[in-house]
């Protein structure tokens, strides 16, 4: 009787630890996917290029150059037509603007963010040209 009771307790502990093991595997898979996504976004033509030390100066120079360009290039992205600065394109993977001259990705956020004031000027101009309204108030 005691032997059967011990076997049941051990089996219960084994089964409950399987759930913990499964959760640990899921957490590791999630962590690996997030790291892969972060790495993808930080590539030269990605929206996160500005946070990579190697690209930071180039992205800032490209941003300054893009601000001087006319916003007159029509592009299609996900079923919509946008007018963006000339000599730029939209990265089909992430939807960010890429400078065709340098290949640097520019993070465009349609919100006011004091950290990216120069970029928000580009975004405001794109919004104005495309007739977008700022609904974030």
Structure tokens at 67: 């601000």
Residue 17's pLDDT is 64
How many whole angstroms separate alpha carbon 62 and alpha carbon 103?
Answer: 9
Angle (CA) 60-62-63 rounded to 5° is: 65
Residue 70's pLDDT is 93
Q: What is the pLDDT of residues 16-43, one digit of tens each?
A: 666 777 788 888 889 999 999 888 888 9
pTM of the model: 0.64
Q: Any idea where the domains of the chain sit in the sequence?
A: 1-41, 44-130
């Amino acid at each position: 009787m005691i032997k059967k009771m011990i076997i049941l307790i051990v089996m219960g502990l084994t089964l409950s630890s399987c759930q913990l093991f499964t959760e640990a595997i899921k957490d590791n898979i999630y962590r690996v996917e997030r790291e892969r996504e972060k790495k993808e976004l930080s590539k030269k033509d990605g929206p996160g290029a500005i946070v990579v030390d190697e690209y930071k100066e180039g992205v800032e120079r490209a941003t300054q150059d893009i601000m001087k360009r006319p916003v007159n290039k029509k592009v299609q992205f996900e079923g919509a037509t946008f007018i963006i600065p000339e000599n730029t394109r939209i990265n089909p993977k992430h939807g960010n603007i890429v400078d065709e001259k340098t290949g640097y990705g520019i993070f465009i956020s349609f919100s006011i963010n004091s950290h990216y004031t120069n970029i928000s000027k580009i975004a405001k101009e794109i919004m104005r040209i495309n007739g977008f309204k700022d609904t974030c108030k």
